[in-house]
Amino acid sequence: MKVLSVASECVPFVKTGGLADVVGALPGVMAQAGVEMRVMLPGYPAVMAAIGKGEGVLHDDDLFGGPGRLVSAQAAGIDLLVLDAPHLFDRDGSLYMGPGGQDWPDNPERFAALSWMAARVAAEGVGTWRPDLVHGHDWQAGFAPYYLKKRGADVPTVFTIHNIAFHGTAAADRLGALRLDPADFVQDGGFEFWGQIDALKAGLLWSDRITTVSPSYARELTRPEFGAGLHGVIEARAGDLAGILNGIDTEIWNPATDPHIVARYKSPRGKAKNKKALRQEFALPEAGGPLCVVVSRLTEQKGLDLLIDALPALVDRGGQLVLLGTGEAALEAAFRDAAHHENVAVHIGYDEAMSHRLIAGADAILVPSRFEPCGLTQLYALRYGTIPLVALTGGLADTVIPANPAALSKGVATGIQITPPTAHALALGLIDLCTLYQDKTTWARMQRNAMAQPVGWAASAAAYARLYHEVADPA
């Protein structure tokens, strides 16, 4: 089974969020399931630097405004096809935005080019390699199934929604520039969305199967409050939709071997030295309550505005907070203000090694997201025996066993869940967290349960492999 995975980011080359972690992890885990996967990425400067010269395997003299070529290379153990198109990707700024913080105006063309070349690879192959299936990720690969179907190529497609909040829209007057058939720009059965071209909708409609990154998120997407205007489209294709949980790299995230933490450990007892070091790093005093951390983008989606209002419920009971993240300016300012409290520390920015130290040293991690397709930080936390307090949504609901009376009596709880996502519910959850922390026997049992929870890719890789075979060989 040969699969072309098409995405806009991939660890360890470029990353803005969990999408990159998943795309980077899949080739290795799928190889163990008998799937040969190549990843197609845009040729951002960081990616081109990582692959070196490479080998040009497919050329296009008219690639949405200039010439481009696909470069075959291997880096970090991943087989890559990199779209080297300097007019589209060789620029300063982030992956999707310029130095001024605004989206690149030609983002529709940039990622249409990625989809266009993916369709060419599927239809024509590169050298002796031709995929049996194309797996596209999020709106940036949304037109790949469409272009492929329009070519008449008999190569099936799977399309994964990592976050439905981002659609990849463009004005209707760009139909020609994006090589789209105006006959397909219709409300029902086409990629029109409120008068605009919608790349995500195209992926949902023209792919053979749809997946998303947790079973609960798959169900949520059929509801208006979660579907971002596309709930009807998804509900109509519910028979083709599957929720497959993300996993994490259990080698990188392993408290027994982690090079970033002060003291490596195999049981929750080993966390004590890391907790002491974390307090020293952030100049926090000794305290009687739980040391909590947040490692997150600071956005409304993540529910961190709720934490500002609920924070007294934690610190008034001897709890502490260390936050690592960056995002909306108002939230950054609010947490800087909160850090005037002696038991609150804030680092605005992102530091991978620091994130490991926080998760290893904390008693608990807070993830009060309003919606969360899957979430990875709660999985990292479980691996390290750090108790997650999460909202009852998406993958958070699927991966954390709440400390309700039934779970506590059976000794299986791994965390705390709150619902609905409000400041009041979060405050009550923080009170419960502080109460559970004082019961050392129960807390230690929850930590052991957390560390025993399977959070790797084995089950999910098997599910993807079954899906690929169902789609590519339905007989």
Region of residue 394 (left: phi > 0; alpha: psi -120 to 50; beta: else): left
Helix intervals (H) in 36-157: 45-51, 86-89, 107-124, 143-151
Residue in this structure with the two tokens 């589209």, named with its chain if needed = 88
Is the bond into 12 cis (omega within 30 degrees of 0)?
yes
Q: Which two tokens stand for residue 339?
A: 């850090």
Q: Which two tokens stand for residue 82?
A: 């990199």
Q: Which residues contact 167 (CB under 8 A, 6 or more apart)?
A: 139, 193, 198, 199, 200, 201, 228, 230
Interatomic CA distance for residues 204 and 115, integer angstroms = 14
Q: Which two tokens stand for residue 373?
A: 């397709």
Nearest CA among 188, 134, 177, 145 for reference residue 1: 134
Q: How far is CA 242 from the centre of its chain?
A: 17
Sign of CA dihedral 130, 135, 141, 142: positive
Burial (CB < 10 A; 0-12, 13-18, 19+), residue 166, is middle
Interatomic CA distance for residues 192 and 202, integer angstroms = 9
Interatomic CA distance for residues 246 and 160, integer angstroms = 11
Q: How far is CA 325 from the centre of its chain?
A: 16
Interatomic CA distance for residues 32 and 9, integer angstroms = 22
Q: Which two tokens stand for residue 446?
A: 């929850």
Q: Which residues contact 126 (CB under 8 A, 6 or more apart)?
A: 57, 58, 70, 72, 81
Say if residue 271 carries a ligand binding annotation.
no
Residues flagged as binding site: 15
Residues flagged as binding site for ADP-alpha-D-glucose: 15
